[in-house]
Amino acid sequence: MTEQDPSQNPADAPVDPLYTHPASPFTQTEVPTPVAFASPPSPTPAIYSTWITYRTQIEFGLSMLAYLMVLVGSVIVVQANPDADWRYFVALLPVAPAGFVIWLFVRALAQLDELQKRIQVSAFGFSLAATALITFGYGFLEGAGMPHLSWTYVLPLMALFWGAATAIFTWRYR
């Protein structure tokens, strides 16, 4: 019968890594080659709360409302003063809220993730090409005698194609 020192219990002894034993074939002779590029820093997770989503929509809605109010106001004022020297400035006033809408739009684009940005780039490309094709086509038709259409139709047409293309490209990644 052998008595074992409790402190010498082999079950308690820490297990040595294989390569530390002199006879081990797992001899570690050199450190692993470091990777050429360090991993990128962990991105701060964006907060996707309903409040953020609604805030963007509320800001967008309010600025569109402001744009429409300034637009209607300026049209009324310009029509009431057709000979005033300042009518051009008043006619240009709706550009200011429209610029704010565009700023909100660009900010919303910057908050998209990589797949959503890819979808938007495809949708914008489609919208640009389709609008160019239609406006050029109608320009040639105007040369042949079709009635002249206002330039203000171009943007709604572009927006229409952009919306449709966004829906189609989003559906493709579903």
Partner 1 sequence: MLRAEVAWSQAELAERLGVSRQTVNAIETGKYDPSLPLAFSLARTFKRQIEEIFEAEPIPT
Shorter beta-carbon distance to partner 1: residue 9 or 44:
44
Length of the chain as a residue count: 174
* DSSP state at residue 48: -
Q: Is 44 in the site for partner 1 (CB under 8 A)?
A: yes
* Cβ atoms 160, 126 nearer than 8 A: no
Residues 115-144, mask of contacts with partner 1 (x by CB under 8 A): xx-x--------------------------
Four-CA torsion 119, 59, 97, 128, nearest 10 degrees: 10
Among 113, 143, 150, 156, binds partner 1 (CB under 8 A): 113
What is the number of other CB atoms lying within 10 angstroms of the CB of residue 134? 15
| HSE toward the beta carbon, residue 113, CA cutoff 13 A | 7
Contact with partner 1 (CB under 8 A) among 56, 122, 135, 170: 170
Q: Which is nearer to partner 1, 72 or 112 (CB)?
A: 112
Q: Which of residues 50-89 bind partner 1 (CB under 8 A)?
A: none
* CB 66 within 8 Å of CB 95: no
Shorter beta-carbon distance to partner 1: residue 148 or 172? 172
Question: What is the contact surface with partner 1 in residues (CB under 8 A)?
Answer: 39-40, 42-46, 48, 112-116, 118, 170, 172-174
